[in-house]
């Protein structure tokens, strides 16, 4: 039986992203064909639909790798780690995690953006009393985000 290599694992991890890119390309082709059919009878000078440029397998693979890399980067960001903690807490504390998730969506979901201290406070309030390791980890992540929001060095 052949051994599993890191290259094999990398390709396995890439598969969902490749499937999504193929689905996106199929949707683009279908939309372009529908638009071409819709405008087929009325074609005035300058108003013709531009032909759809299909992406080749290399472009689809490149876009899938970019999407995979962006997903990995988000997963290790404070926001990604916070949301992973909420996923662990969701079953036992649905109201608290919903409140924390809503605060995240309102004020600090974008890793590239400036986090909102008030929304971080709302998320901390929702999770502070929970007795679970994931809640403590989420609060530590929030503390780091709060420091960044207030301009305090970690």
Residue 12 has pLDDT above 90, yes or no: no
Residue 59 CA to chain centroid, in angstroms?
A: 21
Number of other CB atoms surrounding residue 96 within 10 Å: 20
Residue 104 CA to chain centroid, in angstroms?
A: 13
Q: Where are the domains of the chain?
A: 6-39+53-75, 77-150
Q: What is the pLDDT of residue 113?
A: 87
**Three-class DSSP category at 2:** coil
- Round to whole Å and give the CA distance between 135 and 3: 38
**Are the C-beta atoms of residues 113 and 148 closer than 8 Å to each other?**
no
Number of H helices, E strands in the chain: 6, 0
| pTM for the structure as a whole | 0.74
pLDDT digits 0-9 by tens, 62-107: 999 999 999 999 999 999 999 999 999 999 999 999 999 999 999 9
In the block, residue with structure tokens 């013709």: 48
**Are the C-beta atoms of residues 144 and 124 closer than 8 Å to each other?**
no
- Round to whole Å and give the CA distance between 24 and 18: 10
Residue 28 has pLDDT above 70, yes or no: yes
């Amino acid at each position: 039986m052949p051994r599993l290599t890191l290259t094999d694992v990398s390709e396995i991890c890439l598969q969902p992203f490749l499937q999504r890119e193929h689905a996106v390309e199929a949707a683009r082709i279908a939309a372009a064909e529908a638009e071409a059919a819709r405008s087929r009878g009325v074609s005035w000078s300058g108003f013709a639909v531009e032909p759809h440029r299909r992406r080749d397998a290399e472009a689809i693979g490149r876009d899938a790798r970019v999407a995979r890399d962006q997903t990995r980067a988000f997963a290790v960001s404070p926001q990604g780690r916070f949301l992973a903690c909420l996923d662990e807490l969701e079953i036992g504390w649905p109201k608290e995690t919903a409140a924390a998730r809503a605060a995240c969506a309102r004020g600090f979901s974008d890793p590239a953006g400036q986090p909102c201290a008030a929304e971080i406070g709302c998320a901390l309030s929702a999770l502070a009393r929970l007795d679970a390791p994931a809640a403590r980890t989420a609060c530590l992540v929030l503390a780091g985000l709060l420091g960044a929001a207030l301009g305090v060095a970690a």
